[in-house]
Every structure is written in structure tokens, then in C-alpha cells.
């Protein structure tokens, strides 16, 4: 099973684990479908009042979309299929609090998940980066989500530097992306402790607060979301089409998302 779900009814806390450590918890199409199903199932499980999301092993929380995943695309430039758009709890209408526990690498498509968690607890060895620009790709949805979680300059630096630079857990904590820093290997325990406290509070108050917090950034995120498909489509144009579009100055190679 690519995603594990463990529920402790005594505390009301569920732990959702990306369980593909041999692939650095990269998300293939089966994992994407499984994540969406888990979030939707948790909507109906009243014994669960708070959730922790983590990755198996210590090398990575997740490295985003699995490189071997084949995502069929419509021929029309007006339609794009992105399997990661439906992997997060909010995308599946789950308004129970979700806390991320990050060890190792969190990069690229992992931000679709981290961007929909209430807050992040990270081990001291965790690192955050986005490889898109290094490979000539547009970081659109990831950038929108991270710009809502970090100061603009910090988000811009991380997204634009690509694989040339990794944001350390310490720096992520300093700029507010990470809310709590732990010793390596202790993020899950700390996140679970937070979830246990939250799960003990009255449910209606907690879920209403989650919804209110999310609504605070919904307008700006929706605006960014509306631009993302067009920016990705432009970035995916073959080199010769980009050169024509930008007056022969592109020099870009074909892009593959």
C-alpha cells in the first residue's frame, strides 16, 4: 500500500504516511488516487479529530511527482491534467486539522501537500527546495502555495534557485515555513503531540477555525491558481515556438512537465 492510515481512537489522531521510501516517497498515480481517497474517507470518520501527515523513512518526506509516472494529457492547450491537484486535504474538502511531520527532503510536488497542512514540524536534517527552474520548467502551483506560507523574498529565492540551493530546516523555521524544529527523527512524535492536544478540543471550534484560517488566503490563492495553467502551457512550448513568441531571444530547449 502506497499510503498507510493508522488511527488511534483513544486520542482521536490519525497518522497518514506516504509509504514509498524506496522511491523517496515520490507520488505516482496510484498514490495520488489513494491520498485523495484517504482524505475523503477521513471526512466521515468522526473518531478522527486531527491528522498527522508524514513520509516513511528518514531520507525524504516526499520528492513530489514520481519521475516514472506517465500522465496522459489532452491534445488541447486549454486543458491540463495535473494529478497532484487532488492530493491535499483541502482539495478533498477535509476541514480537520492536518499537521505535517517532515524528515529529509521535501521538494517539488511535495508542496501540494505541505501547502494544505495547518503547520509543519520538521527534523533538523530536513531540507526544502523546488527543482522546476533548474530543468526549464515553470513552478506554478508550488510557487503559489509557498508564497502563501513564507515571506515573498524567501519563497522567490527557493523557487528560483532550483536545485542550486536547499532551504535548511533551521532557515525554514526562522522564516516561518516550519513552526517547530526537532532533533532528527523526532518530527513525527512532536507533530503527534500537537495533534493530540488539538484533538482534545471541541470539534466544531477546531474545524471552524481551520476553515477560517484557510479562507484568509483563499482569494490570493485562487488568483494564482487561475494563472497557473497558462504559465505552465507557455513554459512547455517547444524551443522554436518560444523563440518565435519571445522575438527570437528564448534559446530554450523543449520542456517536459
DSSP characters over 112-166: HHHTTSSEEEEETT-EEE--GGGGT----HHHHHHHTTS-HHHHHHHHHHGGG--
Identify whether the C-beta of residue 69 lies closer than 8 Å to the C-beta of residue 28.
Answer: yes
Residue 244 above 90 pLDDT? no
Would you give the distance in Å from CA 100 to the centre of its chain? 10
Q: What is the pLDDT of residues 30-58, one digit of tens each?
A: 999 999 999 999 999 999 999 999 999 99
Radius of gyration in angstroms for the set of CA atoms belonging to the chain, rounded to a whole number: 18
SS3 100: strand
Alpha helices in 152-202 (DSSP H): 152-161, 169-175, 187-199
Identify whether the C-beta of residue 85 lies closer than 8 Å to the C-beta of residue 39.
Answer: no
pTM more than 0.85: yes
State the pLDDT at residue 251. 42
- Mean pLDDT check: name the lowest of 113-122, 178-187, 216-225: 216-225
Q: What is the pLDDT of residues 75-99, one digit of tens each?
A: 887 788 899 999 999 999 999 999 9
Q: What is the mean pLDDT of residues 128-156?
A: 96
Identify whether the C-beta of residue 168 lies closer than 8 Å to the C-beta of residue 105.
Answer: no
Alpha helices in the chain (DSSP H): 29-43, 110-114, 141-147, 152-161, 169-175, 187-199, 203-235, 239-245
> Where is 83: in which H helix or E strand?
none
Amino acid at each position: 500500500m502506497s499510503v498507510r492510515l493508522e488511527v488511534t481512537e483513544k486520542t482521536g489522531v490519525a497518522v497518514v504516511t506516504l509509504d514509498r521510501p524506496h522511491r523517496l516517497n515520490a507520488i505516482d498515480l496510484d498514490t495520488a488516487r489513494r491520498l485523495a481517497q484517504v482524505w475523503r474517507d477521513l471526512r466521515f470518520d468522526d473518531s478522527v479529530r486531527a491528522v498527522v501527515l508524514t513520509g516513511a523513512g528518514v531520507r525524504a518526506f516526499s520528492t513530489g511527482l514520481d519521475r516514472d509516472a506517465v500522465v496522459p494529457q489532452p491534445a488541447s492547450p486549454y486543458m491540463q491534467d495535473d494529478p497532484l491537484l487532488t492530493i491535499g486535504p483541502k482539495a478533498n474538502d477535509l476541514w480537520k486539522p492536518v499537521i505535517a511531520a517532515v524528515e529529509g527532503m521535501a521538494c517539488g510536488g511535495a508542496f501540494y501537500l505541505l501547502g494544505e497542512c495547518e503547520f509543519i514540524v520538521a527534523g533538523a536534517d530536513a531540507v526544502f527546495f523546488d527543482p522546476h527552474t533548474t530543468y526549464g520548467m515553470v513552478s506554478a502551483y508550488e510557487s503559489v502555495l509557498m508564497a502563501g506560507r513564507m515571506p515573498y523574498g524567501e519563497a522567490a529565492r527557493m523557487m528560483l534557485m532550483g536545485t542550486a540551493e536547499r532551504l535548511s530546516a533551521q532557515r525554514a523555521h526562522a522564516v516561518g515555513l516550519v513552526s517547530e524544529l526537532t532533533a532528527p527523527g523526532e518530527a513525527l512524535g512532536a507533530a503527534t503531540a500537537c495533534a493530540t492536544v488539538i484533538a482534545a478540543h471541541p470539534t466544531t471550534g477546531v474545524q471552524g477555525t481551520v476553515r477560517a484560517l484557510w479562507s484568509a488566503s483563499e482569494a490570493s490563492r485562487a488568483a494564482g491558481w487561475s494563472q497557473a495553467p497558462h504559465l505552465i502551457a507557455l513554459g512547455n512550448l517547444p524551443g522554436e515556438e518560444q523563440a518565435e513568441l519571445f522575438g527570437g531571444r528564448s534559446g530554450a530547449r523543449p520542456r517536459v512537465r
